[in-house]
Amino acid sequence: MSAGPETSSYAALFDASPTTTKLVTLGNLSRVGARPPLGQYVRLLWARRHFLWADARAKVASGTRQSLLGKAWLVLNPLIDGAVYYLVFGLLMKNERGIENFLGYLLIGVFLFQFTTQSINGGARSVQQGKNLIRAFTFPRAALPISVVLRNLLNLGPTLVTLAALIYFVPPAEEYTWRIALVAGALALQVMFTTGLALLVARWAAALPDITNLIGMTMRVWLYGSAVFFSFDRLLGDESELRVWLEANPMFIVLDIVRDCVLYATTPDPMRWVVLGGWAVGTLVIGFVVFWRAEESYGR
């Protein structure tokens, strides 16, 4: 005989079987969207590292899927840029005078500086473009600019392979030495420095979107101040105070180290590594902390 509705209600109310209850107090609650402590924030970001990498790979693939040549544009774009710059600065303006292997010198400058430019410009727009994602999900917002840097790092891979082949096969061809292994260290420091800057500009652009226009102009000035197209030896004397400041520029140091290792078989001055390491670590730490401190303001 089945129990009626009244019997079921009675059993539900007065059943003496043990139950589990949890007392909810204000101490058990946390505010939605609150900024976690810095250590916890880093752990949350690290826990999502596989997703960040997969997301960057997916966006690289989708970015070329609609074009006829597909991923070939990852190599063709920097090659076309390099050819244009060589035509203007090498053939028309004769900047190659006094520079050994000007083609390699120019391509290293264009390809590596382009990575930093694209990462910073993309980082500046990352929070604005990700506002719908920010409002829908809870995750460390630093994932947005870091994902941009990862995406450009993946794009840089085929470019570096092409660069190495051009330098090795196109006259005046260079013979690689053991110093080429040092290039990985220089690139790692460049990625750290660029990531810190991407976090900084993402924070600033989230507060003041108009700053993205200023970033574009600043990057052009920085391009010319990093000896991408010419050598400071032709324009400035060895004792010039301006030259001292320009050579403290972290992007100039990156390009100078890579050129020494790849083109001129020269071991870079250890002090260059110290200065570049200071720029990389300092910028990454400052950029990360500045971005984290404004975590609750993103997406408003």
* CA separation for the pair 36, 188 (Å, rounded): 28
- Quick one: pLDDT at residue 205? 93
Residues 166-187 as b or e (16 or more Cβ within 10 Å = b):
bbeeeeeebeeeebeebbeebb
Q: Does pTM top 0.85 for this prediction?
A: no
Q: What confidence tens digit (pLDDT) does each residue in 79-92 have? A: 787 778 777 766 66
Q: How far is CA 82 from the centre of its chain?
A: 21
Task: State the amino acid at position 296 in one-letter form.
Answer: E
Residues 52-87 as b or e (16 or more Cβ within 10 Å = b):
beeebeeebeeebeeeeeeeebbbeebbeebeebbe
Considering all CA atoms of the chain, what is the largest pairwise distance in Å, rounded to the nearest integer?
Answer: 105
Q: What confidence tens digit (pLDDT) does each residue in 261-292 have? A: 998 888 999 999 999 999 999 999 999 999 99
Q: What confidence tens digit (pLDDT) does each residue in 27-64 have? A: 544 555 577 899 999 999 999 888 888 888 888 777 65
Alpha helices in the chain, H assignment, sequence order: 5-14, 38-47, 49-65, 73-85, 102-129, 131-136, 143-169, 182-207, 211-224, 232-235, 241-246, 250-262, 270-293
- Quick one: pLDDT at residue 228? 84
**218: confidence class by pLDDT, cuts 50, 70, 90:** very high
**20: confidence class by pLDDT, cuts 50, 70, 90:** low
The DSSP secondary-structure symbol of 92 reads I
Residues 6+ apart with CB under 8 A from 256: 227, 247, 268, 272
* CA separation for the pair 20, 217 (Å, rounded): 63
Higher pLDDT, 97 or 140: 140
* CA separation for the pair 46, 241 (Å, rounded): 43
Preceding peptide of 37 cis, ω within 30° = no
Using CA atoms in the order 11, 12, 13, 19, what is the torsion angle rounded to 10 degrees?
110
With beta carbons less than 8 A apart as the criterion, state whether 121 and 215 touch.
yes
- Quick one: pLDDT at residue 222? 93
| Cα dist from 272 to 139, 166, 250, 259, whole Å | 37, 26, 9, 13
- Quick one: pLDDT at residue 191? 97
Kindly tell me if the per-residue pLDDT of 132 is higher than 70.
Answer: yes
